[in-house]
Amino acid sequence: MDPVIIVHGGAFKLLDEEFVPSEQGVRQSAQAGMAVLSLGGSAIDAVEAAVRAMEANPIFNAGLGASLTRDGKLEVDASIMDGRTKKFGAVACVPDFMHPVSLARAVMEDGEHALLGGPGALAFASEKGLSHFHRTDLVTEGALKRLKRIRSERADTVGACALDSRGELGVAISTGGKTNKRSGRIGDTPIIGAGFYVDNSVGAAGATGDGEAIMRALLCYRATMFLKEGLSCGSAARESVSMLDRETGKKCGIIMLSPSGETGLYHNTPHMPWAIASAGTGVKSGISSEKSVLP
Ligand code: GLY
């Protein structure tokens, strides 16, 4: 099986100066995931590596530079899911954490619980030897500016779906959540079936956009059910985004990957940086489904 990875950097309206760094960032993320896959690594390792690359890049709303609560706190959500075992790990509302996707992975591997939140998640991170950061290391000028502008429509997330050479699928997503959110607010990112879903026999999906609407629509589970009904990844992505719009009046984006390596993406926001890497075609990318700004 030829490995494939699809990633996105959030569905929202980019500022002009964010076009190039956002497309570069998703390409780097897809390359980080493909580096794992091309050495025979697992889909789960690949999506974790791809999301970590975006968490470390302050252009994205995840990890370093994640959006802030209305009282200036950094509280992040993340999840990861294995398409073979259908086990997942998720963390919610974790203060000052650079790589919540790896904390979610540790929750999945540990297996006692599936979703950990707040200070308890931080205590678990210490037990597992995962580093906690000081708030000042993670809060960027960009995040403070966003809070000042109160761009509350910005509820973007980063995400990755991968297929490895053994035919296993995985998905991981990570976010700072909505800018100017109430402290304690948890979005769709750590909620199975809403922000993420994967089943090796059906496909994988990762969502971005208004978390409250994505939870109401149970977006990713329903998107994968469209695949089960026989839709292509592209049609399932378009149908699920339109369904959310009809049912909630909100905007979002989604990436999808089938068990045969077919990819699909759709968004009804002005932009959603994305990249796809596969052994056959190298890396393709754009800042929306229509437009690329890189040569
Ligand atoms: N989709 C990110 C959030 O609403 O938290």
- Reported as a single tens digit per residue, the pLDDT across 213-256 is 999 999 999 999 999 999 999 999 999 999 999 999 999 999 99
211 lines ligand 1 (CB under 6 A): yes
pLDDT recorded at residue 281: 81
For the segment 166-191, the average pLDDT, to the nearest whole number, is 96
The verdict on whether 157 is a catalytic residue reads: yes
Residue 272, by phi and psi: left (phi above 0), alpha (psi -120 to 50) or beta?
beta
Residues whose CB falls within 8 Å of the CB of residue 202, separated by 6 or more in sequence, listed in order: 224, 225, 227, 228, 259
- Amino acid 152: pLDDT: 47
pLDDT of residue 136: 74
- Domains annotated for the chain, with CATH where assigned, are 4-286 (3.60.20.30)
Backbone angles phi, psi at 151, to 5 degrees: -80, 70
pLDDT tens readout for residues 68-121: 998 888 999 999 999 999 999 999 999 989 999 999 999 999 999 999 998 899
- Tell me the C-alpha distance between 109 and 182, whole Å: 30
**Residues that constitute the known binding site for substrate:** 185-188, 208-211
Ligand 1 centroid distance, CA of 48 (Å): 19
Q: Using a 6 Å cutoff on CB, does residue 181 contact ligand 1?
A: no
Q: Are strands 115-117 and 169-175 parallel, antiparallel or unpaired?
A: unpaired
- What are the tokens at 124? 């678990």
Q: CB of 208 within 8 A of CB of 220?
A: no
Distance, in Å, from the CA atom of 282 to the CA atom of 34, rounded to the nearest integer, reads 9
pTM of the model: 0.96
132 CB neighbour count, 10 Å cutoff = 14
pLDDT tens track for 140-160: 887 777 776 655 456 689 999
